Chain A
């Protein structure tokens, strides 16, 4: 019986918080325009895999 990887660590302290640069990129229009294109391509790939 293969043991499945369950993607939840029991280490409740394993957290992460965005710093100033990460927060800047979240609303940087130029960067987000690139991300918008990237998301659309990734989603098209997911849709294509399902058909």
Chain B
């Protein structure tokens, strides 16, 4: 009898747990360790952040799902992993500690929102900005946004600042959605002329999204996605600042430097939403002799190293290849330890790195969207299932980001008749310049914008909440 433990209940963890339970006989245990009591459909938090959706509509309780699907549930925060002895120490939410032993462990803990990397950025500590990264943050952001709306209705002009709060942040897509939803909502309310909306991002150009941007075919032309991303900002009179590293946030202003200049610049705001840098969650790895081996197993940002070529980072952007990226997500030292979703350490960025003249790195770091996280979680679950079932002795299911594509639906306004979203498809996620002139298959890489995108976004909201509950037919729905 095997025991497979999954740390985390997000897209990667929940997908892995459901697929493990589906593939493994009842005699084998599948256990999820998570401090969460609810699954949160993160892509819809941006709608909560503009008061267009209640936070309850983006969540469901985990306990009943695990009970129904016969998945074990330890509700607590993993503190340390002891890979030589195959157990995890968990601080239980109800109090006390639990030692959770495993035969296989999947670290699907997701990101630590590293607000502390930017002085003054933490909404819970400094209250200078809002965030849409967690349910409580998004709920608060929605309330703050409506206060701004009230001020505009009373005649004030309000300055909104949205983007990234650190030179090495990721998740620009969420910021892009939030800024567009603000603009759309204000336009609908007839208040757009009382708003000054600015995008502030570490991307070298709008539309980079941490994937190096993209080239698409449009009307017989081959064109950079940058043009369309900028066009979407221009459509609503928004301005943009790119290549920026935010050094400090204070009440009503951010201080930043750029790729062009290390001279500090100030941007003032009335309401700001800036995505923080991500790091690995604060988990320590302890060897048999009690020594802390976290530094050996993890990258400096705390994310777990897997089967990637980490020496490739030093070879420079022009020598990066698809083969640098992991495929099985197995850690090299411990064969029964895997990382899925945001928890694995990428070998290097996808986007071309840059820095400020003073050497501060400014590079949009690689995103791991819900789709990518789920695809990886699924592959890892399948590999482990094969090993447990005696079909394989090594992980054979692969999900390199250089071998799968992604569809991203970036909301630009929530309305079934007037809303919209950017629909972006790319194959592969990590560009392969050896195979494709522009890094990606032009037949499967596209970008478009319109109402149908919003319909697609709404369908995905309900479809994925259904799937993640493990309801009838869930496995037919693609990751």
What distance in Å separates the Cβ of A17 from its nearest Cβ neighbour in chain B?
Answer: 5
Contact status A32-B226, CB under 8 Å:
no
Q: Which of A1-51 contact B (CB under 8 A)?
A: 1-9, 14-18, 23, 25-29, 31-33, 35-36, 39-40, 42-43, 45-47, 49-50
When chains A and B are docked, how far (Å) is the Cα of A2 from the Cα of B450? 37
When chains A and B are docked, how far (Å) is the Cα of A15 from the Cα of B21? 50
When chains A and B are docked, how far (Å) is the Cα of A32 from the Cα of B418? 11
Partner of A7, one of B224, B317, B423, B425: B224
The reply to whether the CB of B167 lies closer than 8 angstroms to some CB of chain A is: no
Contact status A27-B450, CB under 8 Å:
yes
The reply to whether the CB of B309 lies closer than 8 angstroms to some CB of chain A is: no
Contact status A17-B420, CB under 8 Å:
no
Partner of B224, one of A3, A8, A26: A8
Contact status B433-A2, CB under 8 Å:
yes
A residues near B144, Cβ cutoff 8 Å: none
Contact status A45-B444, CB under 8 Å:
yes
Which of B118-126, B279-287, B292-300, B404-412 touches A?
B404-412
Contact status B438-A7, CB under 8 Å:
yes
Contact status B407-A43, CB under 8 Å:
yes
Contact status B438-A15, CB under 8 Å:
no
Given A8-B226, A32-B451: A39 touches B423 (CB 8 Å cut-off): yes
The reply to whether the CB of B346 lies closer than 8 angstroms to some CB of chain A is: no
The reply to whether the CB of B230 lies closer than 8 angstroms to some CB of chain A is: yes
Given A4-B433, A4-B439, A35-B448: A46 touches B235 (CB 8 Å cut-off): no
Contact status B437-A16, CB under 8 Å:
no
Q: Which of B369-392 contact A (CB under 8 A)?
A: 375
B residues near A16, Cβ cutoff 8 Å: 227-228, 230-231, 234
Q: Which of B199-232 contact A (CB under 8 A)?
A: 204-205, 208, 212-215, 224-228, 230-231
When chains A and B are docked, how far (Å) is the Cα of A9 from the Cα of B417? 35
The reply to whether the CB of B449 lies closer than 8 angstroms to some CB of chain A is: yes
What distance in Å separates the Cβ of B412 from its nearest Cβ neighbour in chain A?
Answer: 9
When chains A and B are docked, how far (Å) is the Cα of A26 from the Cα of B421? 10
Contact status A1-B319, CB under 8 Å:
yes
Q: Which of B393-446 contact A (CB under 8 A)?
A: 399, 403-407, 417-418, 420, 423, 425-428, 433-434, 437-439, 441, 443-444, 446
What distance in Å separates the Cβ of A51 from its nearest Cβ neighbour in chain B?
Answer: 8
Q: Which of B152-207 contact A (CB under 8 A)?
A: 204-205
9 nearest A-B residue pairs (beta carbon): A50-B404, A46-B405, A36-B452, A35-B452, A32-B452, A32-B451, A26-B450, A16-B231, A8-B205
Q: List 26 A-B contacts (CB under 8 A).
A: A2-B318, A5-B433, A6-B212, A6-B352, A8-B208, A15-B231, A16-B227, A16-B231, A26-B449, A27-B417, A27-B420, A29-B451, A35-B448, A36-B456, A39-B448, A39-B452, A42-B425, A42-B444, A42-B446, A45-B444, A46-B426, A46-B427, A47-B405, A47-B478, A50-B375, A50-B427
